[in-house]
Amino acid sequence: MAKTITIIGSGMMGSALAFPAFENGNEVRLVGTPLDKEIIDNCKQNNQHLKFDIPFPKGVKYYYYEEWKEAAKGADFIIGGVSSFGVDWFLENILGELDPSVPVLSVTKGLINLEDGTLISYPEYWKRELKKRGIERDICAIGGPCTSYELVFHDQTEVAFCGRDTATVKMMKEAMQTSYYHISVTNDVEGLESAVALKNGYALAVAMTIGLVNRHHGADAGLHYNSQAAAFYQAVKEMRYLLEMQGASRDCENIGIGDLYVTVYGGRTRKIGILLGEGKSYQEALDILAGVTLESLVVARRVYAAMKRKAELGKADLSLYPMLCHAAAVLDEGKDAELPWEAFTFDHTR
């Protein structure tokens, strides 16, 4: 049965979801944030997002932020399309005002580190903050290996929807799945959200190996896969330690590994990782990528801060996370990007 789906936040991923949502027979309303006026202007004039080569399907409706309540009227569910930098904005301006009976599906990726080193997902953060205001709400979320421009291109894509209410998650799957957008479902919200957030920080470190090859052998040396594979292996190992700590299911671990793969090979995290590997300082890399949203940096810093705090409390061993520690040192201490390769080896002999 067709649904009415309102997407709030017309960034790349939120906007990309308008394609499978509309093509599965639903009414789709795309709403910009206060930062998205130019995007919505272009959508209204040309039926196309500023950063996509392919126009939206004819029939998608567009709204400015000031019209979001009108766009939300009668919606079967809301898709939250903000970046991790908009988490508190979405809490204050949308979740705090939205009818609690309207389900929400979030695309926002990230984790928040608490004082004791505990890492919680954005859905859990929103739930806790809303409860302080007397609002009871669970938020569903999307996780998995999916870049926005590939989804718009209709490349075969597999993701997972998570939520504590099974009927709600399955309703969202039925509304969104298409011949190219395939959806698993799980109640493991913290596991899935942790997996797809952690990959951001680790993809940054893996991408550094591409820049290191450029630095040592020249930009025309081509791609060399030994170093990438070695870094990928270490990233997976550390992610698994962290996901065990988060209580993630094996399927959620696997989705996170798939997401790590696609993030290394495409997108913004790859770009900054390569620049750092080439020898650029953190500030130089930021200047080169001016205007690009870099959520991977937020994740890397927060996870490192959490593990450092757990180590101080005797609840974690930082020696198990040499890649995480290295990425944090490159970002905040000016350390060279050259990876600590020997720290990745193990000795299981007797």
Q: What is the pLDDT of residue 224?
A: 87
| Beta pairing, strands 27-31 & 4-8 | parallel
Q: Tokens 């993630």 identify what position?
A: 248
Q: What is the pLDDT of residue 67?
A: 98
pLDDT digits (tens, 9 = 90+) for 174-188: 999 999 999 999 999
Q: What is the pLDDT of residue 143?
A: 96
Q: What is the pLDDT of residue 17?
A: 98
Report the chain's C-alpha Rg in angstroms. 20
Measured CA to CA, the distance from residue 315 to residue 119 in angstroms comes to: 13
Measured CA to CA, the distance from residue 231 to residue 333 in angstroms comes to: 21
Q: pLDDT band for position 223 (50/70/90)?
A: confident
Q: Which domains does the chain have, with CATH numbers?
A: 4-187 (3.40.50.720), 191-344 (1.10.1040.10)
pLDDT digits (tens, 9 = 90+) for 291-317: 677 777 889 999 999 999 999 999 999
Q: What is the pLDDT of residue 201?
A: 87
Decide: pTM greater than 0.85: yes
SS (H, E, C) the chain: CCCEEEEECCCHHHHHCHHHHHHCCCEEEEECCCCCHHHHHHHHHHCCCCCCCCCCCCCCEEECHHHHHHHHCCCCEEEECCCHHHHHHHHHHHHCCCCCCCCEEECCCCEEECCCCCEEEHHHHHHHHHHHCCCCCCCEEEECCCCHHHHHCCCCEEEEEECCCHHHHHHHHHHHCCCCEEEEEECCHHHHHHHHHHHHHHHHHHHHHHHHHHHHHCHHHCCCHHHHHHHHHHHHHHHHHHHHHCCCCHHHHHHHHHHHHHHHHCCHHHHHHHHHHCCCCHHHHHHHCCCCCCHHHHHHHHHHHHHHHHHHCCCCCHHHCHHHHHHHHHHHCCCCCCCCHHHHCCCCCC
Q: What is the mean pLDDT of residues 24-49?
A: 97
pLDDT digits (tens, 9 = 90+) for 104-127: 999 999 999 999 999 999 999 999
